[in-house]
Structure 1
Amino acid sequence: MKITVLSLFPEMFPTILNESIIKRAKENNLIEFEIINFRDFSTNKHHTVDDTPYGGGAGMVLSVEPIYNALLSIKGYESALKILLTPQGKTYKQAIAKELATNDHIILICGHYEGFDERVREYIDLELSIGDYVLTGGEIAALAIIDSVVRLLPGVLGSKESYEKDSFYEDSLDYPQYTKPREFNGLKVPEVLLSGNHKKIAEWREEMKIKRTKERRPDLHKKTNQN
């Protein structure tokens, strides 16, 4: 899989993309990254990528031209899934991460300032938001999406079970986990986990998933029980 990112701040990416699971995925040729500074595609002498909005208003708006020119420079951009990161987009969820992980090439476009010239939307396929809050730019959102997608790629985590048991993978929260010591400050590991009875352990974990989801995310619990 290839992930291309269009950003005005490409220096924000190398540290995250060269650590942990993502680094191993790169080393094993399971993922390829391309980080493009779309300021390089500005055609004016000052290399600006924004301007004041027509009709007036606060702040600056990203211009369509440098983003369009950057897209044209990407090999195979026509067949890639082009994603605009914007508060106006569809809320990002695990189900979308699973869909994105099936693509050969995705392009993430990071916004800044007061948003994009509306005409940028003519050249993208999908708009995504990672939540109902304000970020300075789309870079953090892009990194969140990259991390959640890469770990779903075949071979990255070693086995499907490594991510299929995660919270949200099937619209539910994960069950409680414990490790050594068996007792800490009077808090004990549930006896069922020490029993060696795999059937009972699986039943307990499923029960705890349902209980925890119902208590902490009733919206997910309701959704799951409607399907």
Structure 2
Amino acid sequence: MPSAEDIKRIHAEEMLRQEIREEIEASKKSETRKGSGSELSQKLMDFLNSSVGMWLLSSVVLTTGAALIQQFQHDYQIREQNHKQLVTHLFEIQNRLDNMEYILRRAQTVGEAKEGLKGLFKSIFPLTPELENRSLVSLYFAVYSLIPGDRQVKAKDAIEFVREMEQSEFTFQSRPDTEKLNDEDREQLRKLIQACKAVHDSIAIQRAK
């Protein structure tokens, strides 16, 4: 009859054999999975190298390439359109400011100043017919939407100067046209137009870079 020591030794040997069998089985399964993955990769490469695979791959490449080219063309057209609009608006604004400055510099009465300030709301001598009846503020808002965010603050500054000129124009409406334009009024308008032109020139210069 086996002693207790022999039973313990036999049990330990059986446990060791079981662990070895499990490790062998796990190793076989791992090799099988590796072989399956390698086989799958080889089958995929064989398919891609076949005529059908080459046709499929070429179709995917051509379709993707065509989509990328179409997107690039679309983005380019949008950029060109925005650039054209920006240039058109900047030239129209410059034309408005120059005309207003010219008329107000020579204005002797409130009525003549009112005529000069009409440029705030419509073009006296429009460069672009479709912008003729646009207000100066609306033109600057359009410019604001067409320039990068780091330069939009300049458009905001220009809008503030235009708003101040609009306030002056509103004040003039309550005064008779025949009233003599005093030096204080003329100097205030001159400073506002000069400040607006300085900001405008800065926007135009940065656009050209």
TM over 0.5: no
| Greater helix content | 2
| Structure exhibiting the larger radius of gyration computed from Cα positions | 2
| Greater strand content | 1
TM-score scaled by structure 1?
0.25
